[in-house]
């Protein structure tokens, strides 16, 4: 047999549900998380770490008196909220990078229970996980230095219609999510959104006038471009909030790599484009 030939009995990768609309069904996620241990949407942390790590800095500090009672020790804390953790290992990777104050939420009770067990089994006892809806965040105002999500907001755009003029129901949900994120961020806090969505489709939401954050974005990926949006609360500029450091984006002429063609990311993105065309 040729070394590059795949045996016929080799299991194929799961490419998700038969219809992309299933991504809006909580039952789908509960069933999926009951059997799936891990899936990383939009690549794993190593692929975009260089884009987000510089922004994982505290906006507040904690002072404690040392046993000697001679001086105060200042301990910097970065309080991070991850939206829609699912079975991603993002929180674990952030922890390994020194970010220990992490709260993960997910709408799926199955995902939350599994994530708690996985983290405890790996020794990540400090990471908090709770069942919660990102459209109704159960946290006080200005609770977090950083809010991060990876592909979670994209689900709200499933079956949203014309991407230039999304359905009102989709607009309402997206804005409700963003309003909640803006509320729980501390002054000078940062929202990091890692997305399939191109800037010309995401800008009307992320850069809406009711938000005080600045608007900046970068890309990563080879075959596909994925987008990292960096939104800094209280830093909106007088011109429309868009920073000059944002990259110019052109649709890549190269073809996706073979592993990307087989991935669920490809299927999710393609099906959304078909639904919204």
Q: Tell me phi and psi for residue 246, to 5 degrees.
A: -65, 145
**Tens-digit pLDDT profile for residues 24-66:** 777 887 788 877 777 787 888 999 999 999 998 766 555 555 5
Question: Does residue 187 form part of some domain?
Answer: yes
Joined together, the tokens standing for residue 219 give 């890309």
Residue corresponding to tokens 């996620």: 29
Question: Does residue 62 form part of some domain?
Answer: no
**Tens-digit pLDDT profile for residues 125-166:** 999 999 999 999 999 999 999 999 999 999 898 878 888 889
Residue corresponding to tokens 């804005």: 175
Question: Does residue 70 form part of some domain?
Answer: no
Question: Does residue 147 form part of some domain?
Answer: yes
Question: Residue 48 is part of a domain; what is its CATH number?
Answer: 3.40.50.150
Q: Where are the alpha helices (DSSP H) in the chain?
A: 26-35, 49-52, 90-96, 109-121, 152-155, 168-184, 199-206, 258-262, 264-275
Q: Give the closest residue to 151 by CA, choosing from 41, 231, 46.
A: 41
Question: Does residue 255 form part of some domain?
Answer: no
Domain of 139 in residue numbering reads as: 30-53+77-233
Quote the CA–CA distance of 145 and 210 in Å, as a whole number.
20
DSSP state of 25: -
Section 111-137 average pLDDT: 95
Total domains in the chain come to: 1
Q: What is the pTM of this model?
A: 0.78
Question: Does residue 129 form part of some domain?
Answer: yes
Question: Does residue 155 form part of some domain?
Answer: yes
Question: Does residue 273 form part of some domain?
Answer: no
Mean pLDDT of the chain: 79
Choice between 246 and 252, residue whose per-residue pLDDT is larger:
246
């Amino acid at each position: 047999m040729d070394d590059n030939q795949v045996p016929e009995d080799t299991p194929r990768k799961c490419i998700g549900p038969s219809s992309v609309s299933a991504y809006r069904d909580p039952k789908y996620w509960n069933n999926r998380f009951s059997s799936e241990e891990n899936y990383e949407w939009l690549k794993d942390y190593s692929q975009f770490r260089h884009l987000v790590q510089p922004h994982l800095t505290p906006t507040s500090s904690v002072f404690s008196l040392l046993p000697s009672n001679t001086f105060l020790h200042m301990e910097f804390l970065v309080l991070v909220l991850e939206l829609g953790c699912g079975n991603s290992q993002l929180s674990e990777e952030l922890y390994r990078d020194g970010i220990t104050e992490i709260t993960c939420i997910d709408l799926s009770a199955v995902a939350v229970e599994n994530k708690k067990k996985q983290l405890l089994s790996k020794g990540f006892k400090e990471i908090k996980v709770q069942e919660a809806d990102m459209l109704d965040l159960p946290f006080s105002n200005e609770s977090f230095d950083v809010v991060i999500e990876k592909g979670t907001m994209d689900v709200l755009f499933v079956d949203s219609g014309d991407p230039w003029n999304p359905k009102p129901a989709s607009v309402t949900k997206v804005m409700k999510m963003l309003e909640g994120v803006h509320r729980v961020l501390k002054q000078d806090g940062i929202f990091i959104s890692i997305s399939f969505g191109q800037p010309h489709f995401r800008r009307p939401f992320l850069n809406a006038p009711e938000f005080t954050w600045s608007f900046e974005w970068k890309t990563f990926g080879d075959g596909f471009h994925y987008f990292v949006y960096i939104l800094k609360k209280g830093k909106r500029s007088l011109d429309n909030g868009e920073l000059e450091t944002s990259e110019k984006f052109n649709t890549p002429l190269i073809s996706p790599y073979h592993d990307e063609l087989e991935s669920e990311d490809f299927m999710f993105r393609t099906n959304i484009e078909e639904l919204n065309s």
